[in-house]
Structure 1
Amino acid sequence: MKKLISILFMSILAMGILAACGTGEKDAGTAGDSDKKVLKMATSADYAPFEYIDTEKSSDIVGIDIDIAKAITEKLGYELQVQDMDFGGLISALQNGQADFVMSAMSATEDRKKNVDFSDVYYTSKHVIVSKKGSGIETKEDLAGKKVAAQMGSIQEEKGKELAEEVGFSIENRNRIPELIQEIMAGRLDAAIIEDTVAQGYLEENKDIAGFTIEDADGGYAIAFPKGSDLTDEFNNELKAMIDSGEIDTIIKKYFE
């Protein structure tokens, strides 16, 4: 009798183990089928129409770069997470693993290429000098002796340093574009150097400021990746297809209607 009970117990135990193993394998397979790899994108959401928060509608980050990033990651089968941070910290975010890629109206300059890899260029911009209306600043030569600023870490900051040596003015920086406009209106800055499409939005909203365009920005806007990232080629393939099909132009035009 004891032997019979022992055999019966071992049989039940073995069946239980097999059932548990079978369930575990099924659950693992189901989870694997539904999971998508998450890609973290870093941006500085103060640069309308490329990346910004339309507070009247929601707290979500929207814009040209966001739409392009969503389209590419969806085509590649990734889930996208967008993180907002100061522009000056974006390259560091890539280098320390906080982000998988950066899309933030970032120019693919030779200096930046020393630290990150870039995709193909998807947009080329110009620089605009913005100042208070009636300030008398109508050419870059009028900046002589003035206090001028640009967004920290931006291509406009580099352009400002170059012009400061050429024309003779002091150059400063601020973390966010709205700070530049506020400082001009408060009289703490004489002018700011801002990307043309971004400047256009502020010029249309604020009739107390004026601006004029100087030469094209260097490099053109591109997507930044950590050095040696496999994502560079993956994104480039989709980006090229979107440029060739006109999808990129459609996204850009949507924000200028």
Structure 2
Amino acid sequence: MNKLLKVGTAALLAATMVGCSSAPADDSTSEDSEVITIGVSPDYAPYESLTTDNELVGFDIDMAAWFEDYLTEEEGVTYSLEFKQMSFDNIITQIQGDQIDIGISGFTYDEEREVEWSDPYIKTAQVAVVPNGSSIASVDDLVGKKLAAQTGATGEIAANEVEGAEVSSVQNVQDIFTGLAANQYDAAIVDLGVAKQYVSSGNFTMIDGYLLDEENYVIAKKGNTEIIEKINKCIEAFIASDDYQTLCDEYDLLPLE
């Protein structure tokens, strides 16, 4: 079955904001159904963002819909993967507090994050984006500059490793680029996929060179290996499917080799 035909169900998933699956089920919940709640920060196109109709869209959203179909078929249980919107830096806190089951929001590996990590599902990198006409042409030119990065993201780590840089941590990526356009910062340090989205607007340029070479993962509470094993099965099947390359092409993301 071509599960890509069913990723339109992502809109229905995104519209439903419910509590953690670990909460007691009410009488309306079937014994043959299972809910997995997902923390997502919808300011990170092309991974996840909101349309003008407040609908969640993006690669991660479509991937979760694919996972839902796969688990339902493989386990004979009706799965519902449901999203809860929050700031990126709050997702891990919500996982640790059992308010959500997993986080899918363009996460890249950081050994200091106390979570369980899935297998990777996308290649990526941390790169620098500057306003058009900037004199910054390479990573070396970032020394001593004003840099902006998302709070809690590995881009923040990469920015702080630039010699003499003045780093501003900003919660929302959209605010980063608003500030960059207003020349509040010299450069933004963001995920490669995100950088491509903003460069496509025609207002920004991505400079040559990577600050960090990375991959994207799903995260869960430390010790919750059961759900990570389930997600890893989904990732393995997803990557082996034709839908994986189709979605990578659609969202201009780099597939794993």
Structure 1 or 2, whichever has the larger Rg, is 1
**Ranges in structure 2 where 5+ consecutive residues have no aligned partner:** 1-26, 73-78
What's the TM-score, normalizing by structure 2?
0.79
Alpha-carbon shift at residue 35 of structure 1 (Å): 5.8
Which residue of 2 is the match for residue 162 of structure 1?
Answer: 161
Letter in 2 for 1:137: I
Bigger fraction of residues in strand: 2
Of all paired residues, the percent bearing the same amino acid is: 30
Alignment of 1:11-26 (within 5 A): none
Give the one of 45, 56, 60 matched to 1:65: 60
Alignment of 1:1-257 (within 5 A): 33=30, 36-55=33-52, 58-77=53-72, 78-112=79-113, 115-163=114-162, 167-205=163-201, 207-215=202-210, 217-229=212-224, 230-256=226-252
1:178–1:239 CA distance, 2 compared to 1 (3 A): same
**Partner Cα separation in structure 1 for residue 169 and residue 208 of structure 2:** 19
- CA displacement, residues 182-216 of structure 1 (integer Å, 9 cap, x when unaligned): 111222111111111211111111x3322214226
- CA displacement, residues 203-238 of structure 1 (integer Å, 9 cap, x when unaligned): 111x33222142263541011011222111111112
Moved over 4 A (4+): 30-35
1:203–1:141 CA distance, 2 compared to 1 (3 A): same
**Partner Cα separation in structure 2 for residue 69 and residue 32 of structure 1:** 21
Residue 106 of structure 2 aligns to a residue whose secondary structure is coil
C-alpha contact 1:196 1:213 (8 A) present in aligned 2: no
**Partner Cα separation in structure 2 for residue 32 and residue 140 of structure 1:** 53
What's the TM-score, normalizing by structure 1?
0.79
**Partner Cα separation in structure 1 for residue 142 and residue 239 of structure 2:** 38
C-alpha contact 1:106 1:222 (8 A) present in aligned 2: yes
C-alpha contact 2:51 2:57 (8 A) present in aligned 1: yes
Alpha-carbon shift at residue 110 of structure 1 (Å): 2.0
Bigger fraction of residues in helix: 1
Q: How many residues align?
A: 220
C-alpha contact 1:126 1:196 (8 A) present in aligned 2: yes
**Ranges in structure 1 where 5+ consecutive residues have no aligned partner:** 1-29
Q: Give the CA RMSD over aligned residues.
A: 2.0
**Partner Cα separation in structure 1 for residue 179 and residue 119 of structure 2:** 35
